[in-house]
Structure 1
């Protein structure tokens, strides 16, 4: 198991896909939020400032952390989803899956290592995005983070962690379909389905929509209607997908 974890961590650390996703989620998300808030606070009266004002409900800590959480609910699903698809599909696409049967490490352990690496990376990246959002707020003049700032940062991290759980079904798709492209196609389908469900008014009970609504994408009033049980629906989705992925790899045969 240790060998599998070491190898999967090494592959993830050197992968351009993982590096790019890390920069986008941990750096660009806070930078975009800080830039938008800085434009609003500048009182420039420009068209960009007017548009930014419509997106932000507050010009303080609640504004920057809230907007970061909203971006994370979408970017996290896409970024972590692509990474999960790549991690579980690359062996099939590169034609190296058969070689795994020649190693002493059981394929179930390989799948477990992949799941742990994707989950840990996604959660840590979300926490880093939350901390860098606070740092960005300090840089644009919001002062020392207060209790509201830390609550907002916690919301960013929670939204990110929930989206990580929601990407785990893509690991099962990539495994079953033997490639990351079908999993990425499934990811895009999930994004479209989520938009349709939200438009129909059932988003709060749809696991892929609840974190985004809670983050404020539908407005503060709708965000207040999202309950903890609705957010925690992501947990059975992720656990079931992880179990199914492990079982598939445990019983996998040479293609």
Structure 2
């Protein structure tokens, strides 16, 4: 198992896909958050400022961390989701899955190593994004982080962690479909479905919508209505997907 973890971590660290996703989450999240808040604070009366202002709780630390949480709920889902599809689908696209039957490491252990590495990487990205959001806030003149800043950074981290867990079902899709493109297609389709569910008013109980609503994507009122049980629906989704993916790899046959 240790060898599998080392190998999967090495492959992820050298993958262009993972590097691009890392930059998107850790740099784009704080940069966009700071830019949006700067537009609102400038009070130019532009259309962008009015639209962005509707999502704000305030124009201080709560504003920039709120933006960061909202962007993370979408950006992390897409970035980490694409990477997890690649991690599990590349063995089939590159025609290396059959060779895994000749290795001393069980395929279930390989799948577990892939899951652990991607989840740890995703959690780390969320933590870095939250920290850099505080740095970005100081750079645009918000001063030293206060209690509201740390609470907002915690929200960014929680949204990131929940979102990473919600990407795990795409590992199963990419594995069962024997290719990462199917997983990416399912990811994009789910984004559309999420928008429809939110429009119908059932977003709080839909695992893929509740973190985004809690972060403020639907406005401050909807954010306050999201409950802890609704947020925690991401946990059984992630755990069930991880278990199903492990079972599939353990019992898969060469085609």
TM range (shorter): over 0.9
Give the aligned partner of residue 223 of structure 1: 223
**Equivalent pairs, count:** 255
Q: 1:240: how far off? A: 0.4
Residue by residue over 1:164-205, the C-alpha shift from the partner in whole angstroms, topping out at 9 and shown as x without a partner, is 111100000011000000001110111111111111111111
Instruction: Decide whether the 8 Å contact of 2:107 with 2:249 is kept in 1.
Output: yes
**TM-score where L is the length of structure 1:** 0.97
Question: Structure 2 regions of 5+ residues with no counterpart?
Answer: none
Give the aligned partner of residue 20 of structure 2: 20
SS at match of 1:224: helix
Q: 1: distance between equivalents of 2:127 and 2:253? A: 38
Rate the CA distance shift 1:193–1:45 in 2: closer, same or farther, 3 A. closer
Residue by residue over 1:24-80, the C-alpha shift from the partner in whole angstroms, topping out at 9 and shown as x without a partner, is 011111000001112222344455444443443311000000011011111111111
Q: 1: distance between equivalents of 2:222 and 2:202? A: 12
Instruction: Decide whether the 8 Å contact of 2:18 with 2:83 is kept in 1.
Output: yes
Q: 2: distance between equivalents of 1:6 and 1:241? A: 23
Instruction: Decide whether the 8 Å contact of 2:82 with 2:184 is kept in 1.
Output: yes
Q: 1:99: how far off? A: 1.1
Question: Structure 1 regions of 5+ residues with no counterpart?
Answer: none
Q: 2: distance between equivalents of 1:254 and 1:19? A: 30
1:24-173 matched pairs, under 5 angstroms: 24-173=24-173
Q: 1: distance between equivalents of 2:121 and 2:217? A: 25
Rate the CA distance shift 1:192–1:26 in 2: closer, same or farther, 3 A. same
Give the aligned partner of residue 244 of structure 1: 244
Give the aligned partner of residue 234 of structure 2: 234
Q: 2: distance between equivalents of 1:217 and 1:232? A: 18
